[in-house]
Structure 1
Amino acid sequence: MAGRVTISDIAKAAGVSKTTISRYLNGNYGYMSAETRARIEEIIKKYNYVPNSIARTLKSKKSGMIGVIVNTLRYQVGAQTVTGINDICTKNGYGTIVHCTNGDRRAEETAVQLCLNQQVEGFIIIPCENSVAPYLEICERGIPVVICTRRLDDWPYGCVYVRHDELIQKMLLHLKEQGFEKVRFLLDVHDFHKEAMAGFFSAASAELFGMSREESIRWVGRESPAVCEALDALLHEYPGQSKAVMAVNTHTLFLTLRELERRRIRIPHELGVCGYDVIGWSELVYPGISAIRQPMDRMGIIAAEKMMESLREQRPTQGACALEGSLFFRNSTNLKAL
Structure 2
Amino acid sequence: MKHITIADVAEHAKVSKSTVSQYLNKRYEYMSEQTRKRIETTIEELNYIPNSVARSLKQKSTFTVGVIVANILHSFSTQVIRAIENYFHENDFHIIVCNADDEPKKERKYIEMLLAKQVDGFIIFPTGGNLDLYESIKKQHIPIVFMDRKIDGMNIATVMLDNEMATSLAIDRFVESGFDRIAIITMSIIRNISPRVERIEGYKKALSRHGLQVNPAYIKTADVHDIQQVIHELFITEKPPEAIIAGNDIVLAALLKYMKENNLKIPDDVAVIGIDEVQFASFFSPPVTTISQPAVEMANRTVKLLLDQINNKVNTNETGVVRLQPSLIKRESCSRIDKSF
* TM tier relative to shorter chain: 0.7 to 0.9
> Mapping of 1:130-279 within 5 angstroms?
134-190=133-189, 191=191, 192-193=193-194, 194-208=196-210, 210-212=212-214, 214-223=216-225, 226-238=227-239, 243-279=242-278
Equivalent position SS for 1:103: coil
Contact 1:130 1:152 in 2 (8 A): no
Query: CA offset at residue 315 of structure 1?
Result: 4.1
Equivalent-residue separation in structure 2 for 1:116 and 1:29 (angstroms): 33
The gaps in structure 2 that reach 5 residues or longer are none
**Could you tell me which amino acid in structure 1 is paired with residue 118 of structure 2?**
Q
Superimposed CA distance per residue, residues 219-250 of structure 1 (whole angstroms, 9 cap, x where no aligned partner): 13213x642443443453337xx621111222
Q: How far apart are the structure 1 equivalents of 2:135 and 2:109? A: 16
Q: Which runs of 5+ in 1 are unaligned?
A: none
1:298 aligned onto 2:300? no
- Give me the whole-angstrom Cα distance separating, in 1, the residues matched to 2:26 and 2:33: 13
Structure 1 residues 337 and 326, CA gap change in structure 2 (3 angstroms)? farther
Query: Sequence identity, in percent?
Result: 26
Counterpart CA distance in 1 for 2:53 and 2:130 is 34
User: Aligned residue for 2:45?
Assistant: 46
**Shift in alpha-carbon separation, 1:36–1:149, aligned structure 2, 3 A:** farther
What is the one-letter code of the residue matched to 2:123? I
Q: Quick one: distance in 2 between partners of 1:30 and 1:310?
A: 26
Q: How many residues align?
A: 334
What is residue 106 of structure 2 aligned with on the other side? Answer: 107
Give the match for residue 334 of structure 1: 335
CA RMSD of aligned residues (A): 2.6
Deviation of the 1:293 alpha carbon: 1.4
Q: Contact 1:5/1:47 (CA < 8 Å) preserved in 2?
A: yes
Does the CA contact (< 8 Å) of 2:71 and 2:77 recur in 1? yes
Alpha-carbon shift at residue 63 of structure 1 (Å): 1.2
Provide the rounded CA distance (Å) in 2 between the counterparts of 1:49 and 1:179.
Answer: 67
Aligned partner of 1:311 in structure 2 is 310
Deviation at 1:55, TM superposition (A): 3.3
Equivalent AA in structure 1 for residue 322 of structure 2: C
Give me the whole-angstrom Cα distance separating, in 2, the residues matched to 1:246 and 1:269: 16
Aligned residue identity for 2:220? R
Counterpart-to-counterpart distance in 1, 2:14 and 2:156:
45
The normalised TM-score by structure 1 is 0.88
Helix, strand or coil at the partner of 2:167: helix
Distance 1:29 1:107 in 2: 43
Name the structure 2 match of 1:57.
56
